[in-house]
Amino acid sequence: MKICDVAIIGSGPSGASAAFQLAKKGVKTILIEKEHLPRYKTCGGGFVYRGRKDMPFDVSSAVEREFFDVDIRFDAQELALNTKRKNPIISMIMRDEFDYLIVKKAEELGVEVLQGEKLLAMDFHKDY
């Protein structure tokens, strides 16, 4: 039996980030993931700059490509916009690398990560 203050189920960006932030505050946290990490995700990997700049650590190791010049087209309204910036507008990431980077940063702060573990039940006790 493991005893912790917080158990987080799932090590995606939200779960891993929550674990990271809790660990920074000294909360004993366990992160439970049913897959083995890093695990492939079939979802998009566009990370906008305003989100990237607010990350509490550098994520450049998970960035595949950056776009500083973007064309946006709305055909129904015959509207086209172009924007260029000195910072990347969108950074393309691979979710397996990005998610695992956050998990590793949480582990560095003391978060225990259980991989390949599917949560079946949890017991809650009033005395601890």
For the entire predicted model, the pTM comes to 0.84
Strands 79-84 and 69-74: antiparallel
Position 65 scores a pLDDT of: 94
pLDDT at 77 over 90: no
> Who has greater pLDDT, 125 or 36?
36
- Asked if 106 and 25 count as a contact pair (C-beta separation under 8 A), the reply is no
pLDDT digits (tens, 9 = 90+) for 8-26: 999 999 999 999 999 999 9
Average pLDDT for residues 50-64, to the nearest whole number? 92
